[in-house]
Amino acid sequence: MQNWATHNQIPLDDTGSLRGDLLAYLQAKGIQRAELMAVFGVRLAAFVAEDADAARQLAKAITAAQGLDELWDRAAARGEIDPDTLTPRLRALPFDLVGAELARTGRPLPIETIEEILDTIVLPLVSRPPANP
Query: How much is the pLDDT for 20?
Result: 94
Q: Let me know: does 92 contact 63? Beta carbons within 8 Å.
A: yes
Angle at 23 between CA 93 and CA 19, to 5 degrees: 80
Is the alpha carbon torsion for 86, 88, 90, 94 positive or negative? positive
What are the pLDDT digits (tens) for 22-67?
999 888 887 676 666 655 655 666 666 777 777 777 766 666 666 6
Q: What is the pTM of this model?
A: 0.69
Backbone angles phi, psi at 78, to 5 degrees: -80, -5
Q: What is the per-residue pLDDT across 87-110, written as a single tens digit (0 to 9) for each?
A: 888 888 898 888 888 878 877 889
